[in-house]
């Protein structure tokens, strides 16, 4: 589990930046920036809970249909369990166990994400307590999770020489700056910049993988861009799947490559703490 959250996740800023009225806003906690977006653009808690529930429901459906199977590498781990768990009826399903003093050492095959929860509804989310005295809470924000993801990017010539399967083509990226106190709006400005750069419009894009850092900021970006909700995170997003820092972008690409059909365009985008947005375009081959 990563400990790089909260104050530890904020980069070290110089004294001059901290003293600057705008630069100091880079230290605003991410949850507060979502409260700012939600308040400034009148995004209600109910709307955020509806969006979050949909993310869980899409992820639950995708898991049941084994849609993530081809993008997840199963990893075997060992886990120590207390003796009181010895009679657990599910032990046989988790893996083989051997006695080791006061603990039982078990080998477990991790083959799917632990984030998606079944039967989540906006009603069940409405019962959760607000985390920042506003509309944001644990159920409509991205899950703090751990993970690793890898994308191999190389020239077509090298891929052919190494006999590697080519899943898609990377085309371009745009990075923009936005006010740090509402950093979640980043994709709403990075995506238009990207599309302008490559001469496409939003209707040319089959799917958008927009990171769900928070429901409020993601809703803003979708509505600001006028996107079809069915084209955004069709298999669920970070609210349901989790948001391991440094991993999510590669995970989004892996998911997008399996959502697209040959010749279709897809966009990956996310907001970035301290006030940025990034978006990249890919073509499925």
pLDDT at residue 11, as a whole number: 64
Residue 140: is its pLDDT beyond 90? Answer: yes
Q: Which residues contact 215 (CB under 8 A, 6 or more apart)?
A: 47, 48, 49, 51, 52, 55, 140, 141, 239
Task: Say what the pTM is.
Answer: 0.87
CA–CA separation, 152 and 150 (whole Å): 7
The DSSP annotation for 165-181 comes to ---EEEEEEEEEE--GG
Give the domain range for residue 182: 22-73+113-284
pLDDT at residue 88, as a whole number: 47
As a whole number, mean pLDDT of residues 91-106 equals 59
- Does residue 275 belong to any structural domain of this protein? yes
As a whole number, mean pLDDT of residues 94-123 equals 80
pLDDT at residue 227, as a whole number: 98
- Does residue 179 belong to any structural domain of this protein? yes
As a whole number, mean pLDDT of residues 256-284 equals 97
* Bigger pLDDT: 87 vs 76: 76
- Does residue 84 belong to any structural domain of this protein? no
CA angle 27, 28, 32 (to 5 degrees): 165
- Does residue 9 belong to any structural domain of this protein? no
- Does residue 92 belong to any structural domain of this protein? no
Is 273 in contact with 263 (CB distance < 8 Å)? no
The pLDDT confidence band at residue 18, using thresholds 50, 70 and 90, is confident
- Does residue 17 belong to any structural domain of this protein? no
Split into its structural domains, the chain has a count of 1
The pLDDT confidence band at residue 259, using thresholds 50, 70 and 90, is very high
Residue 196: is its pLDDT beyond 90? Answer: yes
As a whole number, mean pLDDT of residues 96-103 equals 57
Is 67 in contact with 258 (CB distance < 8 Å)? yes
pLDDT at residue 212, as a whole number: 98
Is 253 in contact with 282 (CB distance < 8 Å)? yes
- Does residue 193 belong to any structural domain of this protein? yes
| Strand segments (E) across 188-264 | 205-210
- Does residue 215 belong to any structural domain of this protein? yes
Looking up residue 242, the CATH number of its domain turns out to be: 3.40.47.10
Residue 98: is its pLDDT beyond 60? Answer: no
As a whole number, mean pLDDT of residues 178-187 equals 97
């Amino acid at each position: 589990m990563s400990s790089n959250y909260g104050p530890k996740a904020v980069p070290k800023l110089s004294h001059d930046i901290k003293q600057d009225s705008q630069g100091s806003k880079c230290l605003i906690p991410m949850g507060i920036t979502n409260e700012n977006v939600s308040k400034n653009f009148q995004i209600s808690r109910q709307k955020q809970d509806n969006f979050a529930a949909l993310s869980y429901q899409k992820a639950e459906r995708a898991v049941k249909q084994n849609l993530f199977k081809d993008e997840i590498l199963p990893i075997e781990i060992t886990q120590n369990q207390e003796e009181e768990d010895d009679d657990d009826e599910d032990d046989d399903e988790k893996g083989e166990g051997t006695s080791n003093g006061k603990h039982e050492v078990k080998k477990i095959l991790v083959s799917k994400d632990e984030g998606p929860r079944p039967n989540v509804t906006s009603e069940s989310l409405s019962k959760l307590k607000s985390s920042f005295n506003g509309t944001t809470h644990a159920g409509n924000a991205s899950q703090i999770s751990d993970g690793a993801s890898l994308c191999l990017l190389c020239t077509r010539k090298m891929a052919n020489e190494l006999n590697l399967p080519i899943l898609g083509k990377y085309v371009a990226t745009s990075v923009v700056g936005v006010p740090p106190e509402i950093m979640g709006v980043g994709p709403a400005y990075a995506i238009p910049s990207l599309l302008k750069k490559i001469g496409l419009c939003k209707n040319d894009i089959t799917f958008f993988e927009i990171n769900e850092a928070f429901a409020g900021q993601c809703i803003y970006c979708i509505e600001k861009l006028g996107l079809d909700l069915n084209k955004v995170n069709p298999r669920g997003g970070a609210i349901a799947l989790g948001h391991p820092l440094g991993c999510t972008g590669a995970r989004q690409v892996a998911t997008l490559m399996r959502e697209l059909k040959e010749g279709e365009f897809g966009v990956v985008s996310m907001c970035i703490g301290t006030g940025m947005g990034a978006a990249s375009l890919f073509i499925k081959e």
